[in-house]
Amino acid sequence: MTHKLTSFLGLFIVFAALVLSAGTAMAAPDFSQILSWPRGLQDPATPAMEHITEFHNMLLYIITAIVIFVTGLLLYVIIRFNAKANPVPSTTTHNVMLEVLWTVVPVVILIVIAVPSFKLLFFEARNPEPELTVKVIGHQWNWEYEYPDYGDVSFTANIIDAKDIDPSKGQKRLLSTDSPVVLPVDTNIVFEVTATDVIHSFAVPAFGIKVDAVPGRLNSTWARVTKTGTFYGQCSEICGKGHGFMPIEIKVVDKAEFEDWIKSQGGTVPEKVEAAKPAPAAPVVSEEAPVDLPVPADSAE
């Protein structure tokens, strides 16, 4: 009875691991089809999310190998050493070689995981020199945005009620807002995040960001979005009855379009941004972008 249960569990784990690894081997789902039964992570739209995706996939290979190895061992023991096949059990209690191996091998695996993990952590934690700062303020239950570099631009984004959703405009239930955030592509954007009432969390999966919005405290994170399009996020800290109804909708557009939008919101485009405008095609800015993982020693600030 126990045999059957254990072998069944073993087979189930192997099957689940195979399904999972097959899922990530396929192309990542398009973020625009966020509601169409996606598997794996959303398509990355920032270098940070690209690194997160690579790290996630690497972990999946490691964990799949471990699950298969341990399940194989388990099955071998169940079949080879059960009471019928092996009526007289061995009385061995120590095996130095085995004990060294099962200590050293997991340590090596942990080091293999820890090194890229810390590199990723430092990469995400260190804000680059901001070209645009966006202040994000969480409220029960909506998000307020301010663009301090661009005059008086500020607005509150509320969820569009399910009954008012218009799919022909690309609106998505529970994700679209009445005033989407507009951001320029290929720009170092720093988000300063806070809240006015309870703790919220500003999270946009395609950007690889999730940062708590805490009353009385300013947290920050950054993103450099490398493609235009519409991206969605949700509050990710349980904040009350409207927690599931304060989505984040971000439209990433090219820089000229962003400036037009700023002006349409009554904002002003600062001189230095105007001056940089004549040469938008020059890839100077993107070459300076922190697309390579800095080594941890670099990151002391």
Residues that bind Cu ion (CB under 5 A): 200, 235, 239
Residue 211 tokens, joined:
């940062």
Closest to Cu ion by CB, 51 vs 200, is 200
Q: How far is the CB of 235 from Cu ion (least distance, A)?
A: 3
Q: How far is the CB of 175 from Cu ion (least distance, A)?
A: 15
Indicate the Cα dihedral angle 195, 201, 202, 204, nearest 10°.
-170
DSSP code of 177? B
Closest to Cu ion by CB, 14 vs 214, is 214
Closest to Cu ion by CB, 71 vs 177, is 177
Report, in angstroms and rounded to the nearest whole number, the Rg of the chain calculated over CA atoms: 25
Distance (Å) of CA 146 to CA 58, 71, 211, 221, 237: 38, 53, 17, 15, 21
Closest to Cu ion by CB, 43 vs 192, is 192
Residues contacting 133, CB < 8 A, separation 6+: 147, 148, 149, 189, 190, 191, 192
Cα angle at 214 between 211 and 48, to 5 degrees?
A: 10
Q: Are 92 and 146 a contacting pair, CB within 8 Å?
A: no
Q: How far is the CB of 11 from Cu ion (least distance, A)?
A: 42
Phi, then psi, of 178 in degrees rounded to 5: -75, -20
Directed axis angle between helix 47-80 and helix 2-25, to 10°? 150
Closest to Cu ion by CB, 49 vs 235, is 235
Question: Helical H runs in the chain?
Answer: 2-25, 47-80, 96-125, 255-264, 271-276, 284-288
Q: Are 215 and 195 a contacting pair, CB within 8 Å?
A: yes
Q: How far is the CB of 171 from Cu ion (least distance, A)?
A: 21
Give CA–CA dist 15/22, Å, rounded: 11
Give CA–CA dist 47/30, Å, rounded: 17
Closest to Cu ion by CB, 235 vs 248, is 235
Give CA–CA dist 301/81, Å, rounded: 58
Q: How far is the CB of 295 from Cu ion (least distance, A)?
A: 36
Closest to Cu ion by CB, 17 vs 203, is 203
Q: How far is the CB of 238 from Cu ion (least distance, A)?
A: 8
Q: How far is the CB of 222 from Cu ion (least distance, A)?
A: 21
Closest to Cu ion by CB, 17 vs 213, is 213
Q: How far is the CB of 247 from Cu ion (least distance, A)?
A: 10
